[in-house]
Structure 1
Amino acid sequence: MRSMPLWGAADFGKYIETIDRLLEFDADNFVCGHLNKVGTRAEVLQTLEFTEDVKKAAEVRASPASSAQKPYAPVRC
């Protein structure tokens, strides 16, 4: 799988629920989304773990304690 919902266009909670439901199937391979992406069960688990990590990091960053931090400086190349 190795894909993420478009930023700002997805409900991460529902995305995680969908992955959990996929894992209820007794299958070794999954065909998901657009462009006929094929993934193994291990890749689905990896996608779930990564998505949960992103959600947790966003929740920490959005917390009131974190809002006192300075915003990140723009990166100049």
Structure 2
Amino acid sequence: MREYATGAVADGIAGPPQERVVFNIDLTTADGLFSARNFMLEGDDLIYGTESALGPALTLFSLTNNVRSLANTN
């Protein structure tokens, strides 16, 4: 998220369309990776990263394996 000075806001062609702008870059796609490479961060930018979908899937897989192990020991 980036906040621009009021004087920098323009018609959307020469500058940002509004004072507060959210840039969304999906790093799970090739387009997102190439876009991120060219995106320059500024000093007051707020960066928010979300959890990968792989984490919950691994948790479920581990839980399933634990239940199977318990069932096989009885």
**Structure 2 length-normalised TM:** 0.33
* Larger helix percent: 1
* Larger strand percent: 1
- Which structure has more RCO (C-alpha within 8 Å, separation ≥ 6)? 1
**Structure 1 length-normalised TM:** 0.31
Determine which structure has more spread, i.e. the larger CA radius of gyration: 2
